[in-house]
Amino acid sequence: MSVVEFGEPPVSQRRQRSQRWVDVAAQLQAKPGEWAKIEGDFSPGVATHIKKGNYKHFLVGIPETMTSEEWMRAHWEIRTHKVGEARRDEIWMRYLP
């Protein structure tokens, strides 16, 4: 009885970036300084990844002299709020040019 199966692994499929974050960045940049609740509820890690600059849609215009996190701290404010008893968050953001 064999416990392994030999062959080629499936082709890796990279997730495509969500159009949601392209739209969010554009809408917030169109109204600088205004707070907006992002539609949906998110895992707690999403806001952390945005703050660290892992969502490239928020890094437009970043100079080479700044890190992604420095840019995000200087130009974006992000707050989260727990949703009910679930481990989900609302995300509130604003763009600070």
Residue 25 counted as domain residue: no
pLDDT band at 6 (very low <50, low <70, confident <90, very high): confident
pLDDT for 44: 86
User: What is the count of structural domains for the chain?
Assistant: 1
C-beta of residue 36 within 8 angstroms of C-beta of residue 92: yes
Tens digits of residue pLDDT in 49-79: 999 999 999 999 999 999 999 999 999 999 9
> Which of 1-16 are b and which e, b meaning 16 or more Cβ less than 10 Å from the residue's Cβ?
eeeeeeeeeeeeeeee
Residue 17 counted as domain residue: no
Give the global pTM: 0.77
Residue 5 counted as domain residue: no
State the residue range of the domain holding 66.
Answer: 38-95
pLDDT band at 14 (very low <50, low <70, confident <90, very high): low
pLDDT for 76: 97
Task: State the average pLDDT for the chain.
Answer: 90
Residue 24 counted as domain residue: no
